[in-house]
């Protein structure tokens, strides 16, 4: 049993076929995933690209029948190489080290 899910998406590539499969499974179980856009440190990853990927994800959530709670997903921006995570692409808010300690920012019991 799980209380939440993390949907990790490459910020440059956007959602792929496996993203849809994993998201459909999470939504069917009533989970409200936290979206993590990874690789935001890559030169080809701009704020507008991140916004476009977030919009694609919203459309994907909606097409899979997400309810209002699930459609209101938080987005974290991450760089695995830099071992950091942010609640915005520009401002570093938390270090994501062992165990994803920073996930407590957005994922509370029952989320």
* Average of per-residue pLDDT across 78-102: 48
- CA-based Rg of the chain, rounded to a whole angstrom? 13
The CA–CA distances, whole Å, from 64 to 42, 59, 82, 105 equal 30, 9, 33, 26
What is the Cα–Cα distance from 94 to 1, expressed in whole angstroms?
A: 27
Q: Can you say how many angstroms the Cα of residue 25 is from the centroid of all Cα atoms in its chain?
A: 15
Is 90 exceeded by the pLDDT of residue 97?
no
Contact 36, 85 (CB under 8 A): yes
Q: What pLDDT was estimated at residue 85?
A: 53
**Structure-token match 């401002």, residue found:** 91
- Phi-psi region at 65: left, alpha or beta (left = phi > 0; alpha = psi -120 to 50): left
pTM (2 decimals)? 0.75
pLDDT tens, residue by residue, 7-46: 999 999 999 999 999 999 999 999 999 898 988 888 888 8
């Amino acid at each position: 049993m799980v209380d939440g899910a993390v949907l990790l998406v490459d910020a440059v590539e956007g959602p792929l076929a496996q993203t849809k499969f994993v998201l459909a499974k999470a939504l069917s179980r009533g989970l409200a995933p936290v979206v993590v856009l990874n690789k935001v440190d890559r030169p080809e990853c701009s704020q507008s690209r991140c916004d476009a990927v977030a919009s694609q994800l919203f459309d994907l959530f909606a097409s899979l029948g997400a309810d209002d709670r699930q459609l209101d997903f938080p987005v974290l921006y991450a760089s695995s190489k830099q071992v950091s995570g942010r609640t915005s692409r520009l401002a570093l808010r938390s270090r994501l080290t062992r165990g994803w300690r920073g996930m407590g920012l957005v994922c509370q019991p029952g989320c």
